[in-house]
Protein backbone atom coordinates (compact mmCIF):
# COMPACT_ATOMS: atom_id res chain seq x y z
CA UNK A 1 0.00 0.00 0.00
CA UNK A 2 1.46 3.32 -1.00
CA UNK A 3 1.56 6.14 1.51
CA UNK A 4 -0.93 8.92 0.95
CA UNK A 5 0.19 12.42 0.21
CA UNK A 6 -0.64 14.49 3.34
CA UNK A 7 -0.86 17.79 1.53
CA UNK A 8 -3.15 16.29 -1.11
CA UNK A 9 -5.37 14.64 1.47
CA UNK A 10 -5.74 17.87 3.44
CA UNK A 11 -6.49 20.00 0.38
CA UNK A 12 -9.32 17.68 -0.64
CA UNK A 13 -11.31 18.92 2.31
CA UNK A 14 -11.31 22.56 1.21
CA UNK A 15 -12.82 24.37 -1.78
CA UNK A 16 -10.33 25.15 -4.51
CA UNK A 17 -7.90 22.56 -3.17
CA UNK A 18 -6.28 25.01 -0.71
CA UNK A 19 -4.76 23.44 2.42
CA UNK A 20 -6.37 24.52 5.70
CA UNK A 21 -4.71 27.16 7.81
CA UNK A 22 -2.65 25.54 10.54
CA UNK A 23 -3.93 26.19 14.07
CA UNK A 24 -1.43 25.73 16.90
CA UNK A 25 -2.86 23.43 19.55
CA UNK A 26 -1.10 23.14 22.89
CA UNK A 27 -3.38 20.60 24.51
CA UNK A 28 -6.23 18.20 24.04
CA UNK A 29 -8.53 20.76 25.64
CA UNK A 30 -7.59 23.33 23.02
CA UNK A 31 -8.23 20.79 20.30
CA UNK A 32 -11.71 20.09 21.65
CA UNK A 33 -12.41 23.81 21.97
CA UNK A 34 -11.35 24.38 18.38
CA UNK A 35 -13.58 21.57 17.14
CA UNK A 36 -16.53 22.87 19.14
CA UNK A 37 -16.03 26.40 17.84
CA UNK A 38 -15.90 25.22 14.23
CA UNK A 39 -19.01 23.09 14.64
CA UNK A 40 -20.88 25.96 16.27
CA UNK A 41 -19.95 28.49 13.60
CA UNK A 42 -20.69 26.14 10.68
CA UNK A 43 -23.85 24.48 11.91
CA UNK A 44 -25.32 27.07 14.33
CA UNK A 45 -29.01 27.37 13.76
CA UNK A 46 -29.03 24.52 11.20
CA UNK A 47 -28.85 21.90 13.93
CA UNK A 48 -32.11 20.19 14.82
CA UNK A 49 -33.10 17.60 17.34
CA UNK A 50 -33.92 14.05 16.31
CA UNK A 51 -36.63 12.17 18.16
CA UNK A 52 -36.51 8.46 19.02
CA UNK A 53 -38.42 7.49 15.85
CA UNK A 54 -35.89 9.31 13.68
CA UNK A 55 -38.10 12.30 12.87
CA UNK A 56 -36.44 15.68 12.82
CA UNK A 57 -37.85 18.40 15.02
CA UNK A 58 -36.72 21.94 15.62
CA UNK A 59 -35.06 22.86 18.88
CA UNK A 60 -37.40 24.80 21.19
CA UNK A 61 -36.97 28.56 21.14
CA UNK A 62 -35.20 29.91 24.22
CA UNK A 63 -37.18 32.02 26.68
CA UNK A 64 -37.17 35.69 25.73
CA UNK A 65 -34.86 38.05 27.55
CA UNK A 66 -36.72 41.18 28.63
CA UNK A 67 -34.31 43.89 29.71
CA UNK A 68 -36.05 46.10 32.25
CA UNK A 69 -34.81 49.68 32.26
CA UNK A 70 -35.84 52.32 34.76
CA UNK A 71 -36.61 55.00 32.18
CA UNK A 72 -35.34 58.57 31.92
CA UNK A 73 -36.31 61.93 30.47
CA UNK A 74 -32.79 62.21 29.08
CA UNK A 75 -32.89 60.92 25.48
CA UNK A 76 -29.31 59.68 25.82
CA UNK A 77 -30.49 57.06 28.29
CA UNK A 78 -32.81 55.32 25.84
CA UNK A 79 -30.17 55.45 23.12
CA UNK A 80 -27.64 53.86 25.47
CA UNK A 81 -29.98 51.05 26.47
CA UNK A 82 -30.77 50.28 22.83
CA UNK A 83 -27.05 50.07 22.07
CA UNK A 84 -26.63 47.68 25.00
CA UNK A 85 -29.42 45.50 23.61
CA UNK A 86 -27.64 45.43 20.25
CA UNK A 87 -24.51 44.16 22.01
CA UNK A 88 -26.52 41.45 23.77
CA UNK A 89 -27.99 40.34 20.45
CA UNK A 90 -24.53 40.20 18.91
CA UNK A 91 -23.36 37.89 21.67
CA UNK A 92 -26.39 35.60 21.39
CA UNK A 93 -27.99 36.03 17.96
CA UNK A 94 -30.71 33.37 18.39
CA UNK A 95 -32.05 34.81 21.64
CA UNK A 96 -35.16 37.03 21.41
CA UNK A 97 -34.40 40.24 23.32
CA UNK A 98 -37.00 42.86 24.26
CA UNK A 99 -37.04 46.11 26.24
CA UNK A 100 -39.52 47.28 28.85
CA UNK A 101 -39.38 50.31 31.15
CA UNK A 102 -40.61 50.84 34.69
CA UNK A 103 -41.56 54.44 33.93
CA UNK A 104 -40.91 57.53 31.78
CA UNK A 105 -40.10 55.71 28.52
CA UNK A 106 -41.95 53.46 26.13
CA UNK A 107 -42.46 50.62 25.88
CA UNK A 108 -43.50 50.16 29.48
CA UNK A 109 -42.83 46.73 30.95
CA UNK A 110 -46.50 45.61 31.06
CA UNK A 111 -46.89 46.49 27.37
CA UNK A 112 -43.76 44.54 26.45
CA UNK A 113 -45.01 41.46 28.30
CA UNK A 114 -48.49 41.79 26.77
CA UNK A 115 -46.96 41.75 23.29
CA UNK A 116 -45.30 38.35 23.83
CA UNK A 117 -46.97 35.23 22.51
CA UNK A 118 -49.43 33.35 24.70
CA UNK A 119 -47.87 30.68 26.91
CA UNK A 120 -44.34 31.81 26.04
CA UNK A 121 -41.55 32.16 28.57
CA UNK A 122 -39.58 35.27 29.47
CA UNK A 123 -36.75 36.15 31.82
CA UNK A 124 -36.87 39.70 33.14
CA UNK A 125 -33.37 41.10 33.70
CA UNK A 126 -33.41 44.37 35.68
CA UNK A 127 -31.05 47.00 34.31
CA UNK A 128 -30.58 48.07 37.90
CA UNK A 129 -27.44 47.93 40.00
CA UNK A 130 -28.71 46.93 43.43
CA UNK A 131 -31.65 45.65 45.39
CA UNK A 132 -34.43 48.12 46.11
CA UNK A 133 -38.11 48.85 45.62
CA UNK A 134 -38.09 48.43 41.84
CA UNK A 135 -36.38 45.04 42.09
CA UNK A 136 -38.41 43.78 45.03
CA UNK A 137 -41.82 45.22 44.16
CA UNK A 138 -42.37 46.89 40.78
CA UNK A 139 -40.80 44.25 38.53
CA UNK A 140 -42.24 41.19 40.34
CA UNK A 141 -45.69 42.83 40.33
CA UNK A 142 -45.51 43.38 36.58
CA UNK A 143 -44.34 39.79 36.08
CA UNK A 144 -47.18 38.42 38.21
CA UNK A 145 -49.75 40.46 36.29
CA UNK A 146 -48.60 39.00 32.96
CA UNK A 147 -50.78 35.89 33.26
CA UNK A 148 -50.40 34.94 29.58
CA UNK A 149 -46.61 34.59 29.88
CA UNK A 150 -44.53 32.41 32.18
CA UNK A 151 -41.99 34.78 33.70
CA UNK A 152 -38.82 34.52 35.75
CA UNK A 153 -37.21 37.58 37.36
CA UNK A 154 -33.41 37.68 37.40
CA UNK A 155 -31.26 39.33 40.03
CA UNK A 156 -30.19 42.95 39.54
CA UNK A 157 -26.89 43.46 37.77
CA UNK A 158 -24.98 44.29 40.93
CA UNK A 159 -22.92 43.57 42.76
CA UNK A 160 -20.71 41.67 40.33
CA UNK A 161 -17.03 41.80 39.21
CA UNK A 162 -18.08 42.68 35.65
CA UNK A 163 -19.37 46.00 36.99
CA UNK A 164 -15.96 46.63 38.53
CA UNK A 165 -14.38 45.84 35.16
CA UNK A 166 -16.63 48.43 33.52
CA UNK A 167 -16.04 51.08 36.20
CA UNK A 168 -12.29 50.60 35.87
CA UNK A 169 -12.49 50.95 32.08
CA UNK A 170 -14.57 54.15 32.33
CA UNK A 171 -12.16 55.68 34.85
CA UNK A 172 -9.20 54.84 32.62
CA UNK A 173 -10.97 56.43 29.65
CA UNK A 174 -11.47 59.59 31.71
CA UNK A 175 -7.77 59.88 32.56
CA UNK A 176 -7.20 57.69 35.62
CA UNK A 177 -3.66 56.32 35.58
CA UNK A 178 -3.28 52.70 36.58
CA UNK A 179 0.37 53.33 37.45
CA UNK A 180 1.22 56.17 39.81
CA UNK A 181 3.87 57.13 42.33
CA UNK A 182 3.41 56.42 46.02
CA UNK A 183 2.86 60.12 46.74
CA UNK A 184 0.21 60.37 44.03
CA UNK A 185 -1.51 57.25 45.35
CA UNK A 186 -1.60 58.69 48.87
CA UNK A 187 -3.35 61.80 47.49
CA UNK A 188 -5.81 59.88 45.29
CA UNK A 189 -9.24 58.42 45.89
CA UNK A 190 -12.50 57.71 44.10
CA UNK A 191 -16.08 58.61 44.92
CA UNK A 192 -18.48 55.96 43.64
CA UNK A 193 -21.53 58.05 42.73
CA UNK A 194 -24.78 56.05 42.80
CA UNK A 195 -28.46 56.93 42.56
CA UNK A 196 -29.33 56.03 46.14
CA UNK A 197 -32.25 54.23 47.77
CA UNK A 198 -34.02 54.07 51.11
CA UNK A 199 -33.64 50.29 51.08
CA UNK A 200 -30.66 49.37 53.31
CA UNK A 201 -29.84 46.39 51.08
CA UNK A 202 -29.18 48.77 48.21
CA UNK A 203 -26.44 50.46 50.23
CA UNK A 204 -24.98 47.05 51.09
CA UNK A 205 -24.74 46.21 47.38
CA UNK A 206 -23.15 49.56 46.52
CA UNK A 207 -20.61 49.27 49.34
CA UNK A 208 -19.62 45.85 48.01
CA UNK A 209 -18.85 47.33 44.59
CA UNK A 210 -16.87 50.14 46.25
CA UNK A 211 -14.83 47.55 48.14
CA UNK A 212 -14.09 45.54 44.97
CA UNK A 213 -13.14 48.69 43.05
CA UNK A 214 -10.83 49.83 45.87
CA UNK A 215 -9.06 46.47 45.73
CA UNK A 216 -8.67 46.88 41.97
CA UNK A 217 -7.37 50.46 42.10
CA UNK A 218 -5.36 50.40 45.32
CA UNK A 219 -6.91 53.62 46.64
CA UNK A 220 -9.92 54.37 48.87
CA UNK A 221 -13.31 54.25 47.15
CA UNK A 222 -16.17 55.95 48.99
CA UNK A 223 -19.78 55.29 47.96
CA UNK A 224 -21.94 58.41 47.72
CA UNK A 225 -25.45 59.09 46.50
CA UNK A 226 -27.44 61.49 44.37
CA UNK A 227 -30.61 61.09 46.45
CA UNK A 228 -32.35 59.21 49.26
CA UNK A 229 -29.15 58.18 51.06
CA UNK A 230 -26.01 59.61 52.63
CA UNK A 231 -23.35 60.74 52.12
CA UNK A 232 -23.97 62.95 49.12
CA UNK A 233 -21.22 63.26 46.53
CA UNK A 234 -20.14 66.76 47.72
CA UNK A 235 -20.05 65.52 51.33
CA UNK A 236 -17.90 62.53 50.37
CA UNK A 237 -15.52 64.83 48.47
CA UNK A 238 -15.17 67.11 51.51
CA UNK A 239 -14.48 64.16 53.78
CA UNK A 240 -11.76 62.86 51.49
CA UNK A 241 -10.17 66.31 51.20
CA UNK A 242 -10.04 66.50 55.00
CA UNK A 243 -8.03 63.26 54.92
CA UNK A 244 -5.54 64.73 52.46
CA UNK A 245 -7.09 63.11 49.38
CA UNK A 246 -7.16 65.98 46.91
CA UNK A 247 -6.79 63.97 43.70
CA UNK A 248 -10.28 62.51 43.64
CA UNK A 249 -12.14 61.04 40.67
CA UNK A 250 -15.87 60.44 40.47
CA UNK A 251 -16.88 57.04 39.13
CA UNK A 252 -20.37 57.12 37.65
CA UNK A 253 -22.27 54.12 38.99
CA UNK A 254 -25.22 54.68 36.68
CA UNK A 255 -26.33 52.48 33.82
CA UNK A 256 -26.86 55.41 31.45
CA UNK A 257 -26.62 59.21 31.23
CA UNK A 258 -29.28 61.17 33.06
CA UNK A 259 -29.97 63.95 35.54
CA UNK A 260 -28.32 62.26 38.52
CA UNK A 261 -25.25 61.16 36.57
CA UNK A 262 -24.78 64.67 35.20
CA UNK A 263 -25.10 66.33 38.61
CA UNK A 264 -22.59 63.95 40.18
CA UNK A 265 -20.08 64.48 37.37
CA UNK A 266 -20.34 68.26 37.72
CA UNK A 267 -19.27 67.96 41.38
CA UNK A 268 -16.00 66.24 40.49
CA UNK A 269 -12.90 68.25 41.50
CA UNK A 270 -10.72 66.34 39.05
CA UNK A 271 -11.97 63.75 36.55
CA UNK A 272 -15.44 62.25 36.17
CA UNK A 273 -15.97 58.93 34.42
CA UNK A 274 -18.82 58.22 32.03
CA UNK A 275 -21.72 55.99 33.13
CA UNK A 276 -21.46 52.22 32.67
CA UNK A 277 -23.44 52.42 29.44
CA UNK A 278 -23.12 49.81 26.71
CA UNK A 279 -19.65 48.56 27.65
CA UNK A 280 -19.13 44.97 26.39
CA UNK A 281 -18.84 43.71 29.98
CA UNK A 282 -22.36 45.00 30.64
CA UNK A 283 -23.76 42.89 27.80
CA UNK A 284 -21.99 39.84 29.19
CA UNK A 285 -23.42 40.55 32.62
CA UNK A 286 -26.97 40.86 31.27
CA UNK A 287 -26.65 37.41 29.69
CA UNK A 288 -25.11 35.99 32.84
CA UNK A 289 -28.09 37.13 34.91
CA UNK A 290 -30.41 35.64 32.27
CA UNK A 291 -28.61 32.28 32.39
CA UNK A 292 -28.46 32.38 36.17
CA UNK A 293 -32.23 32.88 36.42
CA UNK A 294 -32.87 29.95 34.07
CA UNK A 295 -30.49 27.72 36.00
CA UNK A 296 -32.42 28.48 39.18
CA UNK A 297 -35.55 27.10 37.53
CA UNK A 298 -33.75 23.96 36.36
CA UNK A 299 -33.91 25.03 32.71
CA UNK A 300 -30.92 25.27 30.35
CA UNK A 301 -32.92 26.13 27.24
CA UNK A 302 -31.61 29.66 26.99
CA UNK A 303 -27.96 29.02 27.77
CA UNK A 304 -26.86 26.20 25.47
CA UNK A 305 -26.53 28.12 22.19
CA UNK A 306 -23.90 30.74 22.89
CA UNK A 307 -22.29 30.53 26.34
CA UNK A 308 -20.94 33.76 27.81
CA UNK A 309 -17.72 33.69 29.82
CA UNK A 310 -17.76 35.58 33.11
CA UNK A 311 -15.15 35.80 35.86
CA UNK A 312 -15.58 33.94 39.12
CA UNK A 313 -18.42 35.45 41.10
CA UNK A 314 -17.69 37.61 44.10
CA UNK A 315 -21.33 37.40 45.06
CA UNK A 316 -24.37 35.38 44.12
Residues known to be catalytic: 70
Hey, which residues does 272 pair with through a beta bridge?
250
293 dihedral zone (left: phi>0; alpha: psi -120 to 50; beta): alpha
Strands 247-252 vs 188-194: parallel, antiparallel or unpaired: parallel
- As a dihedral over the C-alpha atoms of residue 244, residue 250, residue 253, residue 255, rounded to 10 degrees, the angle is 180
Q: Name the CA radius of gyration of the chain, rounded.
A: 24
- 8 CB-near residues (< 8 Å, 6+ apart): none
CB 95 within 8 A of CB 65: yes
User: What's the CA gap between 32 and 38, in Å, rounded?
Assistant: 10
CB 68 within 8 A of CB 129: no
- As a dihedral over the C-alpha atoms of residue 89, residue 95, residue 96, residue 99, rounded to 10 degrees, the angle is -50
- 88 CB-near residues (< 8 Å, 6+ apart): 65, 67, 95, 97, 283, 286, 287
Q: Tell me how far CA of residue 275 lies from CA of 88, 149, 176, 251, 254, in angstroms.
A: 18, 33, 15, 8, 5
C-alpha 243, offset from chain centre: 35
Amino acid sequence: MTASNPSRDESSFRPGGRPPRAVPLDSTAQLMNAISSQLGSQLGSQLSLVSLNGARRLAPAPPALVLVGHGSRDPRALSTVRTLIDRVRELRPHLPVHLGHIELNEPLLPDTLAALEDDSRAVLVPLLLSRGYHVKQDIPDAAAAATRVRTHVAAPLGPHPLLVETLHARLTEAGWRTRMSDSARRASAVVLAAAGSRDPESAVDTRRIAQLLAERLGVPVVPAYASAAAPTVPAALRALAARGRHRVAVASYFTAPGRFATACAEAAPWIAAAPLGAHPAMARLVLHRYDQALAATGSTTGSTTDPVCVPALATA
